Amino acid sequence: MAETWVNTPGSSRRLPHRTPAPPGDAPPAAGTHAAGTDAAAPRDEAPGREAGAPREAAVGQDLHLELTGTGSLRTQIMDALRDAIRSGRLAPGTRLPPYRGLARDLGIARNTVAGAYAELVEEGWLSARQGSGTRVARRATPSRAEPARRPQGPSRRRIAHDLLPSSPDAAAFPRAAWLTSARRAMAAAPNDAFGVGDPRGRAELRGTLAEYLARARGVRTAPDRIVICSGFAHGLRLLARVLDGRVAVESYGLDYHRALLHEAGLTTVPLPVDAGGARVDELPGTRARAALLTPAHQFPTGGPLHPGRRAAVIDWARSHGGLLVEDDYDGEFRYDRQPVGAVQGLDPDRVVYVGSISKSLSPALRLGWMVLPGRLVDEVLAAKGPREIWSSVLDQLTLADFIACGAYDQHLRRMRRHYRRRRDVLVGTLAERAPHIRVGGIAAGLHAVLELPDGTEDAALRAARRQGLALDGLGPYRHPDSTMPRREGLVIGYGTPPDHAFSAALDALCLALPEPPQGDARAMPRIRREPAAG
């Protein structure tokens, strides 16, 4: 039983066609309907329809016919059907409702609909066969000029491999261990855990973090100097409200972190970046009162901040009343040696240390922490507000248990091995198949930078899109006011693809890379060693 929907303004009525399409439901031959048939139609207007209100009917399940044009009703039906066919909404072969039923639903004369169907059959838009009703003709394909609407932009191309530097391997999330901690945390949670949350964060988590960060990252703190946040971005948003004036940032960095600072009315001043990280010797000239850096693994270019510069940034902070905001987003993942401790350990009163589980566990949980100089704790809490409205207390308790029981360390050790293997496969594949490409930033983290010859980044990104790769070039990370020489390259996040798809992702990547320059017969790979800059 076919069904037609009829919508009248302000209401929607469902009118089932109780009679199956009769064998003779194809419209009478066109010749039997001369122009002007409508005039002879028994009833042209449905009783009860408001004058001027559009007539609407839906064909099948979701095709809507709306007669709002000008001209006779027959012309309007024909226009509406042609439009639906042209746009692809009515696909070739689609069966139209019997003309009697459509006429009834639209509240118009049967002859009017039959005449419109018959004329469209003549024009070739519809086909009518005894016994199978009226259908959209097979050859009535949508017009090229009006293709069916598709989503615009790069998303139209299927993304086969995600090499963006944003996520860890989601398949490696330690579900079982997290669940065990969640159960334990839930069972042990005192009643007050189910009330309004403390904006400082749960004491259980702050206590556990103080111990863990001291042990694993060399952070010097106490639980009352820690404020829980929903990740680095949230921490920066809060800090932006307590800072003022100018903030020095790395010439290459995340634009949305810069945007967060700008939104708060701050100005960002770019510091050049080289193989030893940010050129902190330029800090005094910036007149900035704060500096946002990624010392463990410069994002995205990849070098750790040189030891001399770690000391120099603290000297600057002491002599200029400055503050370092240390973004320790992937500090646990160091492959050539033990992770370098946080700069915060050098002077806890001059550094705000911000960490999160976005790289180590998952960016979906939205959990992070700020370790603050004592004088900033109240100001940051005032910026956060009187209640915890960001981070779930149960997730906080779960994380506290997860760290305290050793599951976090175990997970990190496992992931360090996992990402190190990935990194080695990436480097090995490029050495073999694209030895003319230099690879940087490989000693730590979940991403590397493939350095490209000048003028080739855009073409490589286009080639990557054609290969179904989602990846970034260095261009968008560059501060618009930076005066340092422009670097071209691809930022390759090797953490995200699932294991089974990793080698296919690398195959696609190799196909997207520029060819070696003419005459470059280099046999040996040039894999960039980590810096010894000062």
Ligand X SMILES: Cc1ncc(COP(=O)(O)O)c(C=O)c1O
Minimum CB separation of residue 244 from ligand X in Å reads 22
Q: Return the C-alpha torsion angle 244, 245, 251, 254, nearest 10.
A: 40
Among 212, 299, 353, 494, binds ligand X (CB under 6 A): 299
Minimum CB separation of residue 300 from ligand X in Å reads 8
Minimum CB separation of residue 232 from ligand X in Å reads 4
- Can residue 294 be called a binding residue for ligand X (CB under 6 A)? yes
Minimum CB separation of residue 366 from ligand X in Å reads 7
- Can residue 368 be called a binding residue for ligand X (CB under 6 A)? yes
Rounded Cα distance, 441 and 434, in Å: 17
Beta strands in 52-115 (DSSP E): 55-59, 63-67
* Residue 126, beta-bridge partner list: 136
Residue 370: which of 179, 242, 507, 504 has the closest Cα?
Answer: 242
- Can residue 247 be called a binding residue for ligand X (CB under 6 A)? no
Cβ distance to ligand X smaller for residue 4 or 496: 496
Among 109, 113, 226, 254, binds ligand X (CB under 6 A): 254
- Can residue 251 be called a binding residue for ligand X (CB under 6 A)? no
Minimum CB separation of residue 521 from ligand X in Å reads 38
Residue 513: which of 534, 492, 483 has the closest Cα?
Answer: 492
| Count of residues making up the chain | 534
H helix or E strand, kind and range, residue 450: strand 447-451
Q: Which residue is nearest to ligand X (CB)?
A: 231
Q: Are 486 and 473 in contact (CB under 8 A)?
A: no
In angstroms and rounded to an integer, the radius of gyration of the C-alpha atoms of the chain is: 33
Residue 226: which of 241, 242, 211, 244 has the closest Cα?
Answer: 211
Minimum CB separation of residue 354 from ligand X in Å reads 8
Rounded Cα distance, 399 and 419, in Å: 22
Minimum CB separation of residue 108 from ligand X in Å reads 59
Tokens 């066109």, located at residue = 30
- Can residue 5 be called a binding residue for ligand X (CB under 6 A)? no
Who's near 268: CB < 8 A, 6+ residues apart? 246, 247, 248, 249, 258, 261, 262, 479, 481
- Which range touches ligand X (CB under 6 A), out of 209-217, 220-228, 230-238, 263-271? 230-238
- Can residue 333 be called a binding residue for ligand X (CB under 6 A)? no
- Can residue 232 be called a binding residue for ligand X (CB under 6 A)? yes
- Can residue 356 be called a binding residue for ligand X (CB under 6 A)? yes
- Can residue 233 be called a binding residue for ligand X (CB under 6 A)? yes
Cβ distance to ligand X smaller for residue 101 or 302: 302
- Which range touches ligand X (CB under 6 A), out of 78-86, 241-249, 314-322, 352-360? 352-360
- The backbone region for 107, taken as left when phi is positive above 0, alpha when psi lies in -120 to 50, beta otherwise, is left
Rounded Cα distance, 178 and 529, in Å: 37
- Can residue 329 be called a binding residue for ligand X (CB under 6 A)? yes
Minimum CB separation of residue 153 from ligand X in Å reads 23
Q: Are 407 and 360 in contact (CB under 8 A)?
A: no
Among 231, 303, 304, 441, binds ligand X (CB under 6 A): 231
Q: What does the binding site for ligand X look like in residue numbers (CB under 6 A)?
A: 231-233, 254, 294, 299, 327, 329, 356, 358-359, 363, 368
